[in-house]
């Protein structure tokens, strides 16, 4: 695998992160929230629901911030 491609467990999709954080319960809800411009990643609005997040990235939703933490497996 090339060095610039992340290994499984090193990344998490934005829509999955929103579900895991309990901010949405379905993929459809995540899609509407993201594409509605209500999600920021590292301070920038993000409209791609498949955006890959890495440990240390910061999500902002509804005035709350969450730092991404990933288990190494």
Report CA-CA distances (Å) from 6 to 1, 11, 25, 43, 65.
9, 7, 26, 22, 24
| Percentage above 70 pLDDT, the chain | 85
Q: Cα–Cα distances in Å, from 19 out to 1, 37, 47, 69, 72? A: 29, 17, 16, 14, 20
Q: What is the pTM of this model?
A: 0.81
For residue range 4-37, what is the model confidence (pLDDT) as tens digits?
Answer: 455 556 899 999 999 999 999 999 999 999 999 9
pLDDT grade for 59, boundaries at 50, 70 and 90: very high
What is the helix (H) or strand (E) element at residue 13, kind and residue range?
strand 11-13
Domains, the chain, in order of start with CATH, read: 11-67 (3.10.290.10)
Q: Which two tokens stand for residue 39?
A: 């999600």
């Amino acid at each position: 695998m090339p060095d610039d491609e992340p290994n499984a467990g090193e990344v998490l999709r934005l829509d999955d992160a929103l579900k895991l954080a309990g901010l949405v319960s379905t993929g459809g809800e995540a899609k509407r929230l993201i594409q509605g411009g209500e999600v920021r990643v590292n301070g920038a609005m993000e409209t791609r629901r498949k955006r890959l997040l890495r440990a240390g990235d910061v999500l902002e939703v509804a005035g709350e911030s969450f730092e991404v933490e990933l288990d190494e497996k």
